[in-house]
Structure 1
Amino acid sequence: MTQRASAALNPAAVYRSPLSVEDYLAARMISSPICLYDCEVPVDGATAIVVSAAETVPDLRAPVRIEAMAGVVEDRPSWEQWRDLTRVGHGTAAAMWARTDLRPADVDTAQLYDGFTIEVVWWLEALGFCGTGEAGDYVDGGERIALGGELPLNTWGGQLSGGRLHAAFGHTVEAVRQLRGEAGNRQVAGAEVAAVTNVGGYEAGAALLTRR
């Protein structure tokens, strides 16, 4: 519901109409406990991300810095073989945090992979925004992860409402827009640090982007 509310502020989002708790609970089941609105919305589209050494672009208008990033291949090489799906991003998150002095409390907005709703839950726990098993309480009511909350989450609507490009390009583009102050009426005030993740499990990746 929170991501749909953010999508309403994104003119490029696929689903912009309000989604109530009642709408969500009435949706048809796809594979229990995942219902229709727990699934990403594939779209045709394109985006471009230019990565360069900092010294080659001294005059850029609003460069965004990669503070830390990680991708860890761990456990078994197929989703259905994983022994504990609740830990699909923990190794990657730990490797990323080991490469920076920043900590979860420093993050101003999180753009977390949401191929399915449950993946956002896993990433919130893996990145240390809350403890393992605590994400339900962490997001309860939606205020903490809404615009203006403690951790504005998937402020463009995410893949659940904004639409899915491959991997997490939509999340990365939104993080860059937020750090540049270019997100319009969904802008997170004073955003300086953004967390971005993609997929999970053996494909998991995470990054911290900053405008410093």
Structure 2
Amino acid sequence: MSLKGKAYIVGAYEHPTRKAVDRTVAQLHADVALGAIADAGLSLEDVDGYFCAGDIPGWSAPGTGPFSLVEYLGLKLRYLDSTESWGSAYINHVAHAVEAIEAGRCRVALITLAGRPRAEAARPDAMHGEIMDTVEFPFEAPYKPVVTNMYGMVAKRHMYEHGTTSEQLAWIKVAASHHAQHNPHAVLPNVVTVEDVLNSPLIVDPLHRLDCCVVSDGGGALIVAHPDVARSLNRPLITPTGAGYAIKHLNGGYFDILASGGVRSGAEAFAQAGVKPADIQYASLYDSFTITVLVQLENLGFCKAGEGGKFVADGGLISGVGKLPVNTDGGGLCNNHPANRGGMTKVIEAVRQLRGEAHPAVQVPNCQLALAHGTGGQLGGRHGSATLILERE
């Protein structure tokens, strides 16, 4: 059953900072919350539902968790959802917010993301105590599985099975840079060429430095509201129509490294929305690495398995040039990757496109249907995938 018209995204805000030397994580959450609330034309007192994940301060503190931030923000809640699924959490939260609103649990839902790994010089692949406690740690740790290694294996396998080239992967970065040049907040605003990507240092075969996303601070927030609230505001009506979520794990070693959770989450979202990949006018795709985008394009059905390289080559993802505009804000490859979790910004840019508020140089004309997709965890390993389809009424 479609989600259409059951709730609307009425507020969206992305923090402009990329290095928060003067802000705490709690302050960043407050900044984005107030920004999204103002964008919606509402007040803090209107919020009665809050959705957050493990990026909030005090997440693992005993007896506090999200309660500390709820108090810091001064929220008076009827509903709280702290579902953690890493980078896919915030896309997943939109679907949860729609369901909560439809069930009468809340009327105005706030979703926030914030972090400052750049200011804190935190390593995205560092092993924390929680990871060391997992059941698989004693068996996998001796082989040193870090983020870059996992994605390098996916890229290498795709090349082996389908003849994909480093040049084709580089086109994904090139497309992101063409979009980022129009974003004044982008960490990497300069246009790059395929040669620039290939000449950047090799990080893990076959991925180069420019195949990897940026590390940045900042965050973002969304407001999802009941239809009665949404229609009372002077904002475009952006409604989720389909959502899907799936967990992909290693299944004791019997798994396809090129099939992410997006195979199932995408199929579920498209079926619920009643549309096809060919109907999508704009896509926000998680881009922790260039290979992440290529795998998602295939898994979500935008092209057949093995044809992702051809799909992205020669500007295939550049707005106004290619077949499918992707990540028109510059994405994680060039714009930002706040808290090492890119799902939130994927929804925000999709909302911008549907509102007609993207930069004129990258705005998709008369954009009515968009997709946002996120990965929490690692391709090549266990992860969660969330897919969201949005429509402008």
Query: Which TM-score tier does this pair reach, normalised by the shorter chain?
Result: over 0.9
**Which residue is equivalent to 1:109?**
282
What amino acid is the match of 2:365? A
**What is the deviation of 1:55?**
2.9
| Other structure's SS at 2:373 match | strand
The answer to whether 1:211 aligns with 2:387 is: no
Q: 1:149-168 to 2 correspondence within 5 Å? A: 149-165=322-338, 166-168=341-343
Distance in 1 of aligned mates of 2:392 and 2:303: 25
**What is the deviation of 1:76?**
3.2
TM-score, with length taken from structure 2? 0.51
What amino acid is the match of 1:100? A
Task: Output one character per residue of 1:89-115: Cα deviation in whole Å (capped at 9) or x when no partner.
Answer: 211111212212111111111110001
| Other structure's SS at 1:159 match | helix
Q: 1:143-154 to 2 correspondence within 5 Å? A: 144-148=316-320, 149-154=322-327
Q: 1:49-128 to 2 correspondence within 5 Å? A: 49-60=222-233, 61-76=235-250, 83-88=255-260, 89-128=262-301
The answer to whether 1:176 aligns with 2:385 is: no
Distance in 2 of aligned mates of 1:152 and 1:99: 23
Provide the identity percentage.
Answer: 33
> Which has the higher mean CA deviation after the structures are superposed, 32-41 or 69-78?
69-78
Kept after mapping to 2: 8 A contact 1:111/1:154 = yes
**Which residue is equivalent to 2:68?**
none
| Other structure's SS at 2:283 match | strand
Kept after mapping to 2: 8 A contact 1:42/1:163 = yes
**What is the deviation of 1:82?**
7.3
Task: Output one character per residue of 1:109-139: Cα deviation in whole Å (capped at 9) or x when no partner.
Answer: 1110001111101110111110011101111
Kept after mapping to 2: 8 A contact 1:74/1:91 = no
| Other structure's SS at 2:387 match | strand
**What is the deviation of 1:46?**
2.0
> Which has the higher mean CA deviation after the structures are superposed, 40-49 or 198-207?
198-207
Are the structure 2 counterparts of residues 207 and 71 from structure 1 closer, same or farther at C-alpha, using a change threshold of 3 Å?
A: same
The answer to whether 1:37 aligns with 2:210 is: yes
**Which residue is equivalent to 1:46?**
219
Kept after mapping to 1: 8 A contact 2:355/2:392 = yes
**Which residue is equivalent to 2:170?**
none
TM-score, with length taken from structure 1? 0.92
What amino acid is the match of 2:317? I
**Which residue is equivalent to 1:193?**
369
Which structure is higher in helix share?
2
Q: Where has structure 1 moved over 3 Å in runs of 4 or more? A: 74-78
**What is the deviation of 1:48?**
0.9
**What is the deviation of 1:167?**
3.3
**What is the deviation of 1:34?**
1.1
The answer to whether 1:6 aligns with 2:182 is: no
What amino acid is the match of 2:247? V
What amino acid is the match of 1:209? L
Which structure is higher in strand share?
2
Unmatched tracts of structure 2, length 5 or more: 1-173
Larger Rg: 2
Distance in 2 of aligned mates of 1:43 and 1:5: 19
